[in-house]
Each structure stands twice: as C-alpha cells, then as structure tokens.
Amino acid sequence: MTKADIVSEISKKTGIEKVTVQKTVEAFMDSIKFSMMDNKNVYLRGFGSFIVKKRAAKTARNISKNTTIMIPEHFIPAFKPSKTFVGEVKEKTSK
C-alpha cells in the first residue's frame, strides 16, 4: 500500500477531500520524522512506537581492497509494533 492508497482510503471512509487528507498525512509523517531527528521517540498507543536506535561503533571489512574501516557510532530510525497490533495481524493472516 502506498501513501496515495492510504490517502484515497481515508478520503473514501471520511468523505474529506483528498487534498486535505494528503496534507494531513504528510504533516503527520513530518511530525514523526522531525521528532525522531530531535532524538525523541513517538508512541502511538495500540499501534506501535517509532524509536531511535543507537548503533555502536564497529570495525568492518572492505573485501575488495582487503582493508578494515571503522564505522562510527550512529542512530537509526526503527518501528516497534504494539502487542495488540502484532496479535491482530497474526490472527488475521493465519486464517
């Protein structure tokens, strides 16, 4: 499902114009993105959490040049679904 599909579905279910729904969806995504860029997690009860994970520094190998490089500590965005969300998906897909 794409963002356009989500916008269309919300528009059909609510009767709100697609342009308004698209602006709302994009504003929602921007607020999550900017919160995570500020190192703040976003918790949506019953859905899941958008969290910032810390990756430790590590040594990696460039196989083609046979050299080692150091990858510095960095942060990545991640999503952790809630237990109820996981349960609903398991129940629906197992039938």
User: Which tens digit of pLDDT belongs to each residue from 5-26?
Assistant: 999 999 999 999 999 999 999 9
Q: Using 50, 70 and 90 to split pLDDT, how confident is the model at 94? A: confident
Paired residues of 78 in beta bridges: 51
Contact between 21 and 10 (Cβ < 8 Å): yes
The answer to whether domain 41-95 has CATH 4.10.520.10 is yes
**How far is 60 from 71, CA to CA, in rounded Å?**
7
Alpha helices in the chain (DSSP H): 3-14, 18-37, 83-93
Nearest to 52 by CA among 63, 62, 38: 38
Tens digits of residue pLDDT in 30-88: 999 999 999 999 999 999 999 999 999 999 998 898 899 999 999 999 999 999 999 99
Statement: residue 95 has pLDDT above 80: no
Is this prediction's pTM over 0.75?
Answer: yes
> Quick check: 26 and 6 in contact, CB under 8 A?
no
Pairing of strands 67-71, 58-62: antiparallel
What per-residue string of b and e applies to 49-64 under the rule 16 or more CB within 10 Å gives b?
ebebeeeeeeeeeeee
> What was the pLDDT predicted at 93?
87
